Structure 1
Amino acid sequence: MSGIEKTEYSVPSQPPRREHVDPQAQQGEHEAELSLRPKSLAEFIGQPKVRDQLGLVLNGARRRGVTPDHVLLSGPPGLGKTTMSMIIAQELGTSLRMTSGPALERAGDLAAMLSNIMEGDVLFIDEIHRIARPAEEMLYMAMEDFRIDVIVGKGPGATSIPLDIPPFTLVGATTRAGMLTGPLRDRFGFTAQMEFYDVADLTKVVDRAARILGVHIDPDAACEIASRSRGTPRIANRLLRRVRDYAEVHGDGHIDLAAAQGALEVFDVDSLGLDRLDRAVLSVLVKGHGGGPVGVNTLAVAVGEESSTVEEVCEPYLVRAGMIARTGRGRVATAAAWRHLGLTPPDHALGMHLSEEQD
């Protein structure tokens, strides 16, 4: 027990809250997001390749007077896949019908939705990689032939009734394109890969959101919020709302650099966008295990979180930021992680020699 007491980290009594920098949509956030979402491709900030390619697909279909090909939007959460589906329907002047993969548990669930579709409508399925297999197999025929077979009855007396459906455009969104089956992926005529945003584009996102919210913000304050938003517009908008609260409580509502920095410090979002859980993982890895390698289950126990949370929510950004590396033996802290914690990295730290050459 004495050895445990001497370690420099401890298990927190409660899991660290990370709602501010979690790219997943939070409960009760839909209305706030809806007011900030752009309504057209021209208003959409960032993703220039996706906007140009999608514009060609939609304009070509309009010129020919046909329904556009089915669209697959792939990328991490919070980058605007749902917003893009709304823009597609808006650009086409049609209705948008929304559902999610987990909600389509049976083929009948999908059949009920498809039977109500009108010609030219856009059907948006979020997290389409989680759709149940029976519904997915029905979707094949609907996407290709605009027809579904509805099974009536059970057992030997079951009858298949063909049902024609009007031409429609399916927009599927996924955060895990690798989990899509080959037959489903091949039926999409256009696939777009959404990329993380740079600070310049995120600053524009913050400026636009501030105008919509009626908030006065200085350019350097907008840039500060953008630089801590982990390349994700949803996080940028969320942090802006928290900074607005801080500015209204501690000032006159005007957001300057000091207000932005003070608010982000209160909400435990550091200069790189890391929160308490991110820093706890790095601290365990560096201070508790000398930089690793350490298994993800060990890290999760040390910070008081589920291993899936550490692996799916925390790790992706730390890897992208160059703080940790995944190896066959476990997670390893890089020289950048040591420095971010204010420590001198050892000579064997990953990336140590590369950083010295850059210096």
Structure 2
Amino acid sequence: MTDEVVSPFAEDEDLDAEASVRPRRLADFIAQHRVRDQLDLLLRGAMGRGTPPDHILLSGPPGLGKTTLANIVAAELGTAIRTTSGPVIERSGDLAAILTSLAEGDVLFIDEIHRIAKPAEELLYSAMEDFRVDVVVGKGPGATAIPLDVEPFTLVGATTRAGLLSGPMRDRFGFVAHLDFYSPADLDSLLHRSARILGVPITAEGAAEVAGRSRGTPRIANRLLRRVRDYAEVRGDGVVDHDTAKAALKVYDVDQLGLDRLDRAVLRALIESFRGGPVGLSTLAVAVGEQSDTVEEVCEPFLVRAGLLARTPRGRVATDAGWLHLGKTPPEGRGIAAQLPDLFTRAENTSP
């Protein structure tokens, strides 16, 4: 028996591959056509006037291209980009140091901006509106506010939970866009582009198979493409065709709908352990050995969007489609349909 040799550079290679397939211009950005056209107008208008464009807020689920669009904004403007994230900015002084180091026209990208600390958020208000920050020196009655000018810049904020943004913060963005999940056709085009960049021979059927299991998310599509490429090079002839993609995704536990091991574990526990529900989130999380936040934020959004699970006031419920996806026959009077009469009754009893 020989020891398995794992390259210490494997993760770096994946990161390099991810960066290489990201588009660098709006013209190369696939899908999000409405957002792309609106952003193009915003940038062209600002460049024509010779002024930085309005601040931009991008919202949507993870993996849809918010970071890529932020870098594209800087590339289209021909300026530098400074990248940080909301959880990193814990004090207003941290943000002031970043803002005062920006050059005129630079782009400041703050990922997960809804998690920025409140003192830093309040400091950001004056920087966004007046390009000025007030740094407080000292404490108590002897404290002094020193105003510092900030070069005109464009803030690009990204968030996966737009509802957690405060009203004053949201109102200071001149352009707000929501990114939607990609269609299978858009993912197919994206996979062909990524395959060309990575030098991976891929057939139309192979791309369609990977696209259909990518959950409408380009980040997942590119990740699956790299794993299918590995399978094709090691166990195949190097070409990603339909059979190769199907066999590779079976090895990596990705089924026809794009569910992975954890997704199926949640659905199986709901159906086999709790007879389809309803069951509370914490109980369901314990059943699969995961944290409640992981089940709620990682698994549930796609299971609900795929129509396999539903949230009701009484708990999580497996739909008929969820039963059928596991090859089981939904019992009579179970599933989400069984909850509807009870919900209507409760609504009538509580109505004035």
Q: Considering the TM-score relative to the shorter chain, is it more than 0.5?
A: yes
Report 1:99-178 matches (<5 A).
99-178=84-163
Taking the aligned partners of 1:280 and 1:234, their CA distance within structure 2 comes to: 23
Give the secondary structure class of the aligned counterpart of 2:28: coil
Match of 1:57 among 32, 42, 46: 42
Are 2:26 and 1:79 aligned? no
Partner of 1:9: none
Match of 2:316 among 331, 334, 342: 331
- Give 1:287 shift: 1.5
Matched AA of 1:299: L
Match of 2:264 among 279, 293, 299: 279
Give the secondary structure class of the aligned counterpart of 2:26: coil
Partner of 1:210: 195
Q: 2:228, 2:240 within 8 Å by CA — same for their partners in 1?
A: yes
Q: Cα deviation per residue 1:280-303 (whole Å; 9 max; x = unaligned)?
A: 111111111111001111111111
- Give 1:32 shift: 2.4
- Give 1:315 shift: 0.4
Matched AA of 2:302: Y
Partner of 1:356: none
Taking the aligned partners of 1:32 and 1:75, their CA distance within structure 2 comes to: 23
Are 2:160 and 1:190 aligned? no
Taking the aligned partners of 2:145 and 2:294, their CA distance within structure 1 comes to: 44
Match of 2:230 among 242, 245, 248: 245
CA 1:346/1:352 → structure 2, altered by over 3 Å: closer, same or farther?
Answer: farther
Q: Cα deviation per residue 1:239-269 (whole Å; 9 max; x = unaligned)?
A: 0000000001102211111110000000000
Taking the aligned partners of 2:335 and 2:58, their CA distance within structure 1 comes to: 34
Matched AA of 1:153: G
Q: 2:285, 2:291 within 8 Å by CA — same for their partners in 1?
A: yes
Taking the aligned partners of 2:287 and 2:101, their CA distance within structure 1 comes to: 51
Give the secondary structure class of the aligned counterpart of 2:158: strand
Give the secondary structure class of the aligned counterpart of 1:325: strand
Q: 2:310, 2:336 within 8 Å by CA — same for their partners in 1?
A: no
Partner of 1:38: 23
Matched AA of 2:169: L
- Give 1:33 shift: 1.4
- Give 1:150 shift: 1.0
Q: 1:76, 1:175 within 8 Å by CA — same for their partners in 2?
A: yes
CA 1:331/1:352 → structure 2, altered by over 3 Å: closer, same or farther?
Answer: closer
Give the secondary structure class of the aligned counterpart of 1:348: coil
Root mean square deviation of aligned Cα: 1.4
Match of 1:180 among 138, 148, 165: 165
Taking the aligned partners of 2:287 and 2:212, their CA distance within structure 1 comes to: 29
Q: Cα deviation per residue 1:132-180 (whole Å; 9 max; x = unaligned)?
A: 0010000000000000001122222221111111110000000000000
- Give 1:351 shift: 6.0
User: How many aligned residue pairs are there?
Assistant: 328
Report 1:331-350 matches (<5 A).
331-350=316-335
Partner of 1:234: 219
TM-score normalised by length of structure 1: 0.89
4+ aligned runs moved over 6 Å, structure 1: none
Matched AA of 1:332: V
Q: 1:345, 1:352 within 8 Å by CA — same for their partners in 2?
A: no
Matched AA of 2:139: K
- Give 1:350 shift: 3.7
Give the secondary structure class of the aligned counterpart of 1:42: helix
Query: Which ranges of structure 2 fall in alignment gaps of 5 or more residues?
Result: 1-10, 339-352
Are 2:286 and 1:301 aligned? yes
Give the secondary structure class of the aligned counterpart of 2:202: coil
- Give 1:60 shift: 1.0
Matched AA of 1:196: F
Are 2:32 and 1:47 aligned? yes
Matched AA of 2:174: G
Match of 1:199 among 169, 184, 189: 184
Q: 2:103, 2:151 within 8 Å by CA — same for their partners in 1?
A: yes
Q: Which has the higher contact order (CA 8 A, sep 6+)?
A: 1
TM-score normalised by length of structure 2: 0.91
Give the secondary structure class of the aligned counterpart of 2:234: helix
Taking the aligned partners of 1:352 and 1:248, their CA distance within structure 2 comes to: 47
Taking the aligned partners of 1:349 and 1:41, their CA distance within structure 2 comes to: 48
Partner of 2:76: 91
Q: Cα deviation per residue 1:38-82 (whole Å; 9 max; x = unaligned)?
A: 010000001001001111111111111111000000000000000
- Give 1:352 shift: 6.3
